[in-house]
Structure 1
C-alpha cells in the first residue's frame, strides 16, 4: 500500500471521528426538543383535564328576581338598572362576616362620595327571621344606598341559584341558629350584568377607584 493511500485513509478516519463526535450532540438536542414538546403537550392535557372548575361566564351570574325591600316595596332587577351595584348575601343574625362586609361596602361608597350613582344590595339567606322591619333596623348602621331584600323562600331560592349562592341552616335551637353561606361580593354593571367578584377588603379609596371605572 502506498503512503498516499495511508494518508488519505487517515484523513477519512479523522473525518469519521468528527462526525461520530457530532452524533451524540445532535441526538441530545433532538431529545431536549422532544422533551420540551412532551412537557408542553402534557401541561395542556393537565389543564384541560384538571378538576378545577373554570370561572363561570358573565351570563351565568344574576337574573330576574322579585323581592321585598326593607321599606316594604317590591324590588326587581329592573329597579337596579342605570348604575353599577355590589351584591352581597347574608343575614342579620350573622356573628361577624356579614356586618364586616357591609361596613366595608359602606366605606367604599363613602369614598366615592354621596353623589356617586352606585348602589349596594344585601340579600338575606334567612328570610324566616329577616323581615323587612328587621332588615330596616339592621341596615340603618350602614350607607343608605345599600338596600335589603327579603321575601318568601319560594321567591328567594331562584335568586340564590342564579347568583350561585350556597346557603344551609346549621344545627341549633329553634330561634338561635347560624346559616352557612357564600360570602362573595358581586359587582354588577349599570345594565345589570355580572362583571366580577369584588374585593371589598382593600383600602376603601383603592376599591372606590376600581368601582368608579363602571360609573
Structure 2
C-alpha cells in the first residue's frame, strides 16, 4: 500500500550513504527540494502557516486518521521519540514541533485530526485543508498520495509515501527520520541534528 518511488528513494538514500561518520556539518538532505510555504488549518480550526514554525525544528509526517496500521504506528513512534526527548534532552525537545499533515482532507476534519493526534504527544500539530492546499503541500514535500476506489461499504484507503522529515528552523530539510525503526532511534537522530 505504501510505495517509495525509485527516484525519491535515490534522493533520500544517497545523501544518507554519503553522511558517513556522524558529522553534523552536512545534513543528509541539505539542498534537497523538500518543503515550502503553506497555509492550512490545525486541529483547533485555526489557520496555520509554515512561517508560524519559524525558529523551530519540525518533524513533518503525512498520513491520515482512517489509516488502519502504518500511520498510527509511525505517529506512535514519533510520540515515543518526543517523550524520550522530553526526559533526556528537554532543551532540544522544546525546539521541536511534530507536525501531522493529512492526505485525506475530505474525511480528516479538524475534529477528527484533534482526536487522532491527541493519542501521540501533546505538542503534535495536526493539519488539514482543502484538497488543493493538501495536494500543493504534499507536492512541495515530494510526498505521493492517491485515494483508492471505495470498497463495498463506501470506505476507502489512501496510498501515500510514509516518511518523516526533520526540517530545520528556517524550514530547510535536514534528514529523513528512521520511522522504520523505533522511537529511541528517531530520538537519537533528532538529538544529533537539533542544536
Give the shorter-chain TM-score range: 0.7 to 0.9
TM-score, normalising length: structure 2: 0.78
Does the 8 Å CA contact 1:59/1:194 hold for their aligned counterparts? Answer: yes
Corresponding position of 2:136: 158
Gaps of 5+ in 2: 1-5, 13-29
Mark the structure with the bigger radius of gyration: 1
Number of residue equivalences: 164
Provide the C-alpha distance between the structure 2 equivalents of 1:147 and 1:207, rounded to a whole number of angstroms.
18
**2:49 equivalent to 1:70:** no
Higher RCO (CA-CA < 8 Å; seq separation 6+): 2
Name the structure where helix makes up a greater proportion of residues.
1
Corresponding position of 2:64: 91
Deviation by residue 1:65-114 (Cα, 9 ceiling, x = unmatched)? 00000011111111112121111111011010000000000000000016
Provide the C-alpha distance between the structure 2 equivalents of 1:198 and 1:172, rounded to a whole number of angstroms.
32
TM-score, normalising length: structure 1: 0.71
**2:171 equivalent to 1:198:** no
* Mapping for residues 1-215 of structure 1, pairs under 5 Å: 53=7, 54-55=10-11, 58-113=31-86, 115=90, 116-117=93-94, 118-173=96-151, 175-213=154-192, 214-215=194-195
Provide the C-alpha distance between the structure 1 equivalents of 2:60 and 2:183, rounded to a whole number of angstroms.
17
Deviation by residue 1:140-187 (Cα, 9 ceiling, x = unmatched)? 111011111001112111101101111111122474100011101111
Does the 8 Å CA contact 2:178/2:185 hold for their aligned counterparts? Answer: no
